[in-house]
Amino acid sequence: MNRKLMALAVAGALAAPAAALAQVQIGGSLTVFYYSHDPDNKSVGKTGDILESSEPEMYIRSEEKLGGGMSAWFQCTSSLDGFISGTGAAAGLCGRNSGLGFRGGFGNFFLGNWDSPQKLVFNSGRGWFGGTNAFTGGSAVLLNGGSASGTVNPSPTTTGTQNPGTFFRRQAQSLNYHSPSWGGFSFNAQYSAANESTGNPDTGLLDPRMYSLGARFGTGPFFVNVGYEAHNDYNPGAQAIGAAAGQYSGGTDDTITAVVGFQMAGFNIRGMYSKSGYETASATVAGSTTTLDVDGWGLFADWNISGPHTLRAQYVIVNDTKGSSTVNVGSYKGPGSSGCGGTSILSCASDTGADLMAIFYSYALSKRTELSLGYSQISNDPKAVYSKGKTASSAGGTQTTYGVVVKHSF
């Protein structure tokens, strides 16, 4: 009898923590690349093999039922790059999508560090493929100007550190709302708090802030997503006459991305169009405002051939930049810039586009582990310098990668 009572007591003691933690989840994913990288620019880098991780993460989630159909929730998602990169990797505690919020029939309202609605729309198009990594990525490099992850509003005190020209953002210090679905329609909204304004003088002209919206409509095998994002004063600060190319000031930058998708009988196909506009300042005339416009499109496809076998492909094009800007924005060449090797004021007005192609074969070893083999290439027009992010590209260069990807979820 005593043994039975003791067994029941032990079972109860062990069950109590389990019950208390019933609303807590721990999980994540690890992705490893091993590939050959040819930078096509021998002056800055050699062809060689690269071993690295891509956005490995571990999350902790909790939820508390508050009654009336409403819950309070928390999520902390941290980077795990150290499992490949060693102790030199950034800790990244809660550095990926993390927040605290309330959800219910009204939708989901939360505060934190989260992918912008515009980025979520972009993600619905790229799907399996990375946005900016050197092997499976590149679409966001061409169409969204690169990435800025876990960053705040750029301001004059943080010149050059916030990647102000990108619209592929995980925005820190943000307020977010994700709606429920109404007959297949839903929308997301985000705007940034202006913490940085405490470091800007009241007499200053710059007041950095970002706004982002995303909308989705899906029915049956079809869906349409549209995202819009605006950055007010997201550039490095006052531009002096003759300042270095790539610096620009004031104004409002914005982008719009549209994705159309179709899924049926093992095929998942998405088409994407993106257009961005930047208000820049002239490098030679103080106080003047010029523009830089860039657009492009992408096609992404997954074909589940049978069972564990899947074939994936992407093709992305960014067109020549347009407008009157005499300065560059990241890799986007100012159409009026003379920094393309010529002497004409319009020397960057053409041949500044690029294309990206990739093809991968994936084999699902289980529901949580997948092995992929593939090839990827960025090809620049004669005056373009888009790169895969490992080394700078030479004008008109072609950078290629091929190798293996292992992904495991836990």
- Residue 339 belongs to domain with CATH number: 2.40.160.10
The pLDDT confidence band at residue 14, using thresholds 50, 70 and 90, is very low
Q: Residue 208: its pLDDT value, please? A: 86
Answer yes or no: is pLDDT of 165 > 50.
yes
Q: pLDDT-based confidence at 361, cuts 50/70/90?
A: very high
pLDDT cut 70: percent of the chain above it = 83
- Domain membership of residue 391 (yes or no) is no
Number of domains in the chain: 1
pLDDT band with cut points at 50, 70 and 90 for residue 10: very low
Rounded to an integer, the average pLDDT of 369-390 is 96
Phi-psi map region of 221: left, alpha, beta (phi>0 left; psi -120 to 50 alpha) = alpha
Using alpha carbons, select from 227, 212, 213, 223 the residue that is nearest to residue 121: 227
Q: Residue 305 domain-assigned?
A: yes
Q: Quick one: tokens of 337?
A: 């810039």
Token duo for residue 228: 């819009």
Residue 395 forms part of a structural domain: no
Reply yes or no on whether the pLDDT at 246 is more than 60.
no
Greater confidence (267 vs 243) lies with 267
- pLDDT tens string 97-125: 999 999 999 999 999 999 999 999 999 99
What range defines the domain where residue 235 resides? 105-384
In a domain, 247, yes or no: yes
Q: Which token pair is 334? A: 């100012």
pLDDT digits (tens, 9 = 90+) for 365-374: 999 999 999 9
The predicted-structure confidence for 192-244, as pLDDT tens digits, reads as follows 998 877 777 777 667 889 999 999 999 999 999 999 999 998 875 443 334 44
Q: Which of 81-90, 236-245, 266-275 has the highest mean pLDDT?
A: 266-275
Q: How much is the pTM?
A: 0.89
pLDDT of residue 13: 47
**SS3 string of the chain?**
CHHHHHHHHHHHHHHHHHHHCCCEEEEEEEEEEEEEEECCCCCCCCCEEEEEECCCEEEEEEEEEEECCEEEEEEEEEECCHHHHHHHCCCCCCCCCEEEEEEECCEEEEEEEEECHHHHHHHHHHCCCCCCCCCCCCHHHHHCCCEEEEECCCCHHHCCCCCCCCCEEEEEEEEEEECCCECCEEEEEEEECCHHHHHCCCCCCCCCEEEEEEEEEEECCEEEEEEEEEEECCCCCCCCCCCCCCCCCCCEEEEEEEEEEEEECCEEEEEEEEEEEEEEECCCCCCCEEEEEEEEEEEEEEEEEECCEEEEEEEEEECCCEECCCCCECCECCCCCCCCCCCCCCCCCCCCCEEEEEEEEEEECCCCEEEEEEEEEEEECCCCCCCCCCCCCCCCCEEEEEEEEEEEEC
Residue 172 pLDDT more than 70? yes
- Model pLDDT, residue 9: 47
Mean pLDDT check: name the lowest of 143-152, 155-164, 211-220, 328-337. Answer: 155-164
Could you tell me if residue 99 is inside a domain?
no
Please tell me which residue, 123 or 394, carries the higher pLDDT value. Answer: 123
153 domain residue, yes or no: yes
Any idea how long the chain is? 410
Which of 29-43, 150-164, 171-185 has the lowest average pLDDT? 150-164
**CA 124 to each of CA 117, 232, 309, 319: distance values in angstroms, whole numbers, following the listed order:** 11, 26, 22, 22
Assess if residue 331 is contained within a domain: yes
Q: What is the pLDDT of residue 409?
A: 97
pLDDT for 105: 96
Q: What's the sign of the alpha-carbon dihedral 233, 235, 236, 242?
A: negative
| Highest mean pLDDT, choosing among 158-172, 187-201, 302-316 | 302-316
Q: Contact at 8 Å (CB) between 36 and 402?
A: yes
Both structure tokens of 186: 């839903």
Instruction: Rounding to the nearest 10 degrees, give the CA dihedral for residues 380, 381, 382, 387.
Output: -20
- Structure confidence at residue 325 as a pLDDT band (50, 70, 90): confident
More confident position, 10 or 36: 36
Q: CA 265, CA 196: separation in Å to the nearest integer?
A: 50
The residue assigned the tokens 């960025």 is 378
Residue with tokens 């990739």: 358
Band (pLDDT 50/70/90 cuts) for residue 247 is: low
Q: What average pLDDT does range 376-386 have in this prediction?
A: 96
How far apart (Å, rounded) are the C-alpha atoms in residues 208 and 185?
31
Q: Calculate mean pLDDT across residues 69-97.
A: 87
User: What is the per-residue pLDDT for 86?
Assistant: 86
Mean pLDDT of all residues belonging to the chain: 87
Q: Which long-range contacts (CB under 8 A, 24 or more apart) does 340-347 make?
A: 340/383, 340/395, 341/383, 341/395, 347/383
Residue range 350-354: average pLDDT?
95
Q: CA geometry: angle at 313 spanning 308 and 317, to 5°?
A: 165
Per-residue pLDDT at 342: 47
Least confident span in 6-20, 152-166, 268-282, 362-376: 6-20
Question: Has residue 3 been placed in a domain?
Answer: no
